[in-house]
Amino acid sequence: MEKNRPFPAKSIFAGATASLMLLAACGGSDASGDGTQEITFLTHWDPDQVSQLEDASARFSEDNPDIKIDVQPVPFANLLSTLRTQGSSPNGPTIASIYDLWLPELARDTLAAQMPEDVASDIRSNWPENLLEAASVDDDLYGIPNEVNLYALNYNTRLFEEAGIEGPPETWDELKEYAITLADESEGVQGFGVITNWDSGVVHPFLSLAASNNGYLLDDSGQSALTEPNTQAVAELYEELIESGATDTDLSAADANTTGPYLDAFANGKTGMIIMANWWQSALQEAMGDDFDNVATAPIPVGPDGDKASGISYSWMTIVNDNATDEQQEAAWKFLNWLNGPDSGHNGSSAMGDILMGMGILPSSESDVEAHDDQLSDPFVQTYVDGLPDATPFPTVIGGADATQQLQEQVELLDFQEVDAQTAMENADESVNAALNQ
């Protein structure tokens, strides 16, 4: 799995200036004058994946000569801004790949079109309901999920064996017990590692533990649930782990590329357990070499008020620009339905599924998971595949990005023992609600 999250790896494309100029000059239109719909597909993928997408587009156009797809790559850092600045007219991007947290604002600003019901029916039949929630606004489907990421427990089997621990923790009580047993201050080993300095890296593991205790970031009314007992209990768990010495925050610093002490500590056998996403596999393999054989995965330990393990999930999806003409939108949805359908790729996979698997990324449709069963049955990955049906999607709401940063700030203050668990969640509750109600 790739390693710059929450954004797919290989997302930096060198021709930024040229791509932006090209987008400004040639958006989707009937440029030929012969009825052919020429639509643009805005993506942040690197040249290898762009080439695969172009090949798939060419195959589609062979059977649909009245539709031409022009793939337009930009760097990830420019993706959202390009969609916003270029997408207000029919000459802007027709299709765009987006991070699910952006969807509510793009739908509000008429930069994401509601999916036609005939396409939506096909998509609903082939994706888990919990993943479709993240591609919907007010129960209306706007995007087709492709890449999905979720969280699970990763642990070092060598450290477990040396400590006499036979298997991964299944409950919070076992998590605390094992973390304390594994910790060895004289050897610089921590039992359970947390992340700081990276918003998703801080918040997603925290909320995965909450979800496994029937706790949530938001309640049914869309307001913060951080002071509810089931969620606040995670802060109390962190507090216990840190105060006991089982968690060493000197080893916590990381960024979206997982560089820094956090990666180094786990890769070097100085961290017994962490909660991390599926894309992190390739980072570990590169850093650990043969020692990667000591890494195993397991479901999130279940809290005292939980009934099942549930990792936070987030996804990427493709949307259609609501400012495109009706003809462009019809052509775009036809192409996307084909691109993500089981007849466009190899051996029952969609073309999108083949591209994602080529990047080492977990596809989200049920047919793609089935088609790539052999590759996805790798022991590291299998835990994540098995966890998809019970995953808890990170809320895709307006203000969600700001809310993430507000929760990150308070969890980090808790990590460094500048506030206690109750104060951290009370402060986070107030600031998250402020971010959501702007």
pLDDT at 375 over 60: yes
pLDDT tens-digit readout, 262-305: 999 999 999 999 999 999 998 899 999 999 999 999 999 999 99
Helices (H), strands (E): how many in the chain?
19, 11
Residue 23 binned pLDDT confidence (cut-offs 50, 70, 90) = very low
Q: Which pLDDT value is given to residue 29?
A: 52
At 194-217, the pLDDT tens digits run 999 999 999 999 999 999 999 999
Q: What pLDDT is recorded for position 34?
A: 67
Structure-block tokens of residue 314 = 């987030």
Q: What is the pLDDT of residue 282?
A: 87
pLDDT per position as a tens digit, 401-419: 999 999 999 999 999 999 9
In the chain the domains, ranked by start, together with CATH numbers, are 16-148+314-392 (3.40.190.10), 150-312+396-436 (3.40.190.10)
Evaluate if residue 4 carries a pLDDT over 70.
no
pLDDT higher than threshold 60 for residue 44: yes
Q: Is the pLDDT of residue 21 over 70?
A: no
The pLDDT, as a whole number, for residue 255 is 82
Specify the DSSP class assigned to residue 296: E
Residues 6+ apart with CB under 8 A from 61: 67, 68, 69
Q: Is 60 exceeded by the pLDDT of residue 9?
A: no
| pLDDT of res. 394 | 95
Strands 136-137 and 95-99: unpaired
Q: How high does pLDDT run on average in the chain?
A: 91
pLDDT band at 437 (very low <50, low <70, confident <90, very high): confident
Residues 16-39: what's their mean pLDDT? 54
Give the pLDDT of residue 130.
87
Residue from 394, 34, 97, 21 nearest 217 by CA: 394
Task: Indicate whether 350 pLDDT > 90.
Answer: yes
| pLDDT the model gives residue 33 | 58
Q: Kindly write down the DSSP assignment for every residue of 156-169, as one continuous string.
A: EHHHHHHTT--S--
Per-residue pLDDT tens over the stretch 77-102: 899 999 999 999 888 999 999 999 99
pTM metric for this prediction: 0.86
Task: Give the Cβ contact number of residue 8 at 10 Å.
Answer: 27
Helices (H), 68-124: 76-86, 103-108, 117-124
Band of residue 349 on the pLDDT scale cut at 50, 70, 90: very high
Q: How many CB atoms neighbour CB 376 within 10 A?
A: 19
Poorest-confidence range of 126-130, 138-142, 183-187, 357-361? 357-361
